[in-house]
Amino acid sequence: MRILVTGGSGSVGRELIPALLARGHRVVVLDKEVGALQPLIQPLLELVPGAVEDPAAVAEAAHGAEVIIHLAWSFSDDMRILLEQDLRGHLLLLEAARREGVRHFLYTSTAVVYGKPIRVPIDEDHPLCVLEARKPTYGMAKEFAEKLTLLGGQTGGMPVTILRFWWAFGAEIGGRHLREMLRTAAAGKPLVVPAVCGGSFLSLEDFNLAAELILLNPRSFGEVFNLASAYVTWEEVARMVVEVTGSSGRVEGVPQTEWTGAAFLADRWELDDRKIRESLGFKPTRDPAGVREALRRAIAQTWQRVAKLSNHACFSRTKTLFPW
């Protein structure tokens, strides 16, 4: 099967593409930066450098595609960028999908479209309160892209599916707040987090498994699915951070009512993923304890990279100050 993956050099794509290739699919990647995928080059992989908002690049990449997995997104808070790049690109991809007779369009959205949890766990019918989201412009654009996807499926007769997830991780894990926690712990300072709160982390192995269950599956057509591996509290994450950094700092959980940090951290982002489990038979590859261990390893790997970069930056500054 010929599969177009947009944004393939991102964290999700870098683990999805080898999984698709291993199953014998022909994969085309459309991305502005394809250099990170050069080690994967083989006859079944084609790299198309370009942006989703570039009509020529989209036409080239989508030619002959049977399936499109749309991962690319800027993550910007700038509405102009969201309109001129992300949403323009989304429309171009939907048009190309109809033109090429694509058999399935899979769009990866985000739990940010829920805005702020008003009930827990959060199922797919939870109100989309994007104006209350931590990144409202981002949430608005993602919600609109979801609606465009569903409309394209209804009016163009093209099977579509939407996935919503909260925080994904693979061999490493991204996120500014996590990097700040790592640096704080490494400095021996206490990690203060909102008690009880946390979120449903998603391992990229489980994302790959879900994609395999979804693609060309009639039971997934026209559906929106939450996807998660396990719910983990911030206190658990903080203890992992202390462990991997070898910190002497303590973990302090404070009541939600007393929390003064980033507002989104003081919510329970527990996703209800019963729909994909019951409809498609999805089951995480690890039990909750295994997910936590995999998350700890990802945090440890991320810390190694962050520490290495920090040491390199300090060394570079020292050489500048003391060139001898």
176 domain-assigned: no
104 domain-assigned: yes
The answer to whether the beta carbons of residues 218 and 279 sit under 8 Å apart is: no
Q: What is the CATH number of the domain that holds 115?
A: 3.40.50.720
249 domain-assigned: no
Question: Cα(324)–Cα(322) distance, rounded to whole angstroms?
Answer: 6
Show the CA angle centred on residue 50, arms to residues 45 and 163, nearest 5°: 70
The pLDDT of residue 275 is: 98
- Dihedral sign for Cα atoms in the order 194, 130, 145, 268: positive
What φ, ψ does residue 154 adopt, rounded to 5°?
Answer: -75, -40
18 domain-assigned: yes
Total domains present in the chain: 1
The pLDDT of residue 311 is: 65
292 domain-assigned: no
Question: Cα(127)–Cα(15) distance, rounded to whole angstroms?
Answer: 31
The pLDDT of residue 252 is: 95
Each residue's pLDDT, cut to its tens digit, for the chain (324 residues) gives 999 999 999 999 999 999 999 999 999 999 999 988 999 999 999 999 999 999 999 999 999 999 999 999 998 999 999 999 999 999 999 999 999 999 999 999 999 999 999 999 999 999 999 999 989 999 999 999 999 999 999 987 899 999 999 999 999 999 988 999 999 999 999 999 999 999 999 999 999 999 999 999 999 999 999 999 999 999 999 999 999 999 999 999 999 889 988 888 899 999 999 999 999 999 999 999 999 999 999 999 999 999 887 664 443 443 333 332
136 domain-assigned: yes
The pLDDT of residue 265 is: 87
| Domain interval for residue 40 | 2-170+200-226
49-72 as b/e, with b when 16 or more CB fall inside 10 Å? ebbbbbeebbeebbeebbbbbbbb
204 domain-assigned: yes
Peptide bond preceding 190 in cis form (omega within 30 of 0) = no
63 domain-assigned: yes
